[in-house]
Amino acid sequence: MTIARFEVFSKVVELGSFTKAAKALHMTQSAVSHAIASLESEWAVNLLIRERGKDLALTEIGTKILIQVREILNRMEHINQEIALQANLEIGTIRIGSFTSASACLLPKIISKFHRKYPKIELKLFEGSYEEIIEWLKTGVIDVGFIIEHDLDCEFDTVPLIEDTIAVAFPDNGRFLGKDFIQIKDLKNEPLIMPKGMYQLYIEAIFKKAKVQPNVRFEVQDCNTIANMVNEGLGVTVGSELFLKTQPNIYTKRLQLASLRKIALACMSKQDTPPAVQSFLKVATEVYSLS
């Protein structure tokens, strides 16, 4: 059946390996290879670039076809969920994209309430950067994703959840303990542990607007590593107050900014999304909602 081959193709790309896809789908590796080969033969195109010693990569046409394949698979999931609803069964799978602070601080409460209401619906978590989450939404890798609302473009539907502010984290010997707020100019001579990725662009823009040159000592990707480095007295950092306040042995003070960041859930279309995803969005707004 073609749908089964579509599932194989999507899983091979998702995991980047025939072997991993075979294990995840409970198939033999030869069956997975045959499914891909039969699609390529039927369509007379190469979907994947296979080079020994290198990761699997999509061809140009493979990239275009994958988007359509995932859309078909999402539609099939939608159909199955509608049938289950008719029989008073709540089933399905929801693929959720999340970044670090959302995974640590928001998602657990949502999942806890959701599982109590819908124990038969499976949740799959994809953790990544803001850029990755937006790309996953566009290409159908995930059904719904946490993002910062101002990062979205108009093709997404959004559900605002909570406001987050930018904070400065510093060790217990920091000189900021007596302050209610910290201004960017206060950080001029402080050794800064700069988060990498989209956060870096955001923080650099804050410094640039204040006409302050940051004293960057380290650039680090992982949020937990940054918090540990602050705890060891290696510098201060600027980041999500939501996340930083959960870290032990460091202190935080809000950065004095005019606006707060709104964390939202986004999907391609609330109207066309499967019933299970609609239920997830509803539960999320019951737990956290700005509306």
pLDDT tens, position by position, 73-112:
888 888 887 787 666 657 788 999 998 888 888 999 999 9
Q: Which of 48-62, 116-130, 140-154 has the lowest mean pLDDT?
A: 140-154
Report field, pTM of the whole predicted structure over 0.85: no
- Cβ atoms 273, 267 nearer than 8 A: yes
Residue 291 has pLDDT above 50, yes or no: no
Q: Which of 8-22, 118-132, 140-154 has the lowest mean pLDDT?
A: 140-154
Q: Which of the four pLDDT bands, split at 50, 70 and 90, describes residue 290? A: low
Q: Which of the four pLDDT bands, split at 50, 70 and 90, describes residue 246? A: confident
Question: What is the pLDDT, as a whole number, of residue 136?
Answer: 92
Would you give the distance in Å from CA 27 to the centre of its chain?
Answer: 29
What is the average pLDDT score of the chain?
Answer: 87
pLDDT, mean of residues 263-277? 88
Between β-strands 92-98 and 121-127, what pairing exists: parallel, antiparallel or unpaired?
parallel
Residue 68 has pLDDT above 50, yes or no: yes
Question: What is the pLDDT, as a whole number, of residue 97?
Answer: 96
Higher pLDDT, 228 or 51: 228
Cα atoms in the Cβ-side hemisphere of radius 13 Å centred on 283: 19
Locate 143 and state its tokens. 């059904």
Question: What is the pLDDT, as a whole number, of residue 215?
Answer: 92
- Cβ atoms 101, 243 nearer than 8 A: yes
In sequence order, the 6+-apart residues with CB closer than 8 A to the CB of 282 are none
Rounded CA gap, 170 and 190, in Å?
10
pLDDT in tens, 213-240: 999 999 998 888 999 999 999 999 998 8
In sequence order, the 6+-apart residues with CB closer than 8 A to the CB of 106 are 146, 161, 162, 242, 263, 288
pLDDT in tens, 180-204: 889 999 998 899 999 987 678 888 8
Sequence-ordered alpha helix ranges (H) in the chain: 2-15, 18-25, 29-43, 60-86, 100-105, 107-117, 130-139, 198-209, 223-231, 241-244, 275-287
Residue 153 has pLDDT above 60, yes or no: no
Q: State whether residue 88 is helix, strand or coil.
A: coil
Question: What is the pLDDT, as a whole number, of residue 223?
Answer: 84
Q: State whether residue 204 is helix, strand or coil.
A: helix
In sequence order, the 6+-apart residues with CB closer than 8 A to the CB of 43 are 65
CA end-to-end distance (rounded Å), the chain: 45
Q: Which residue has the tokens 């969005």?
A: 281
pLDDT, mean of residues 168-185? 84
Question: What is the pLDDT, as a whole number, of residue 95?
Answer: 94
Closest CA to 12 of 2, 27, 44: 27
User: What is the residue type of 33?
Assistant: S
Domains of the chain: 1-71 (1.10.10.10), 90-163+260-291 (3.40.190.10), 166-259 (3.40.190.10)
Residue 55 has pLDDT above 60, yes or no: yes
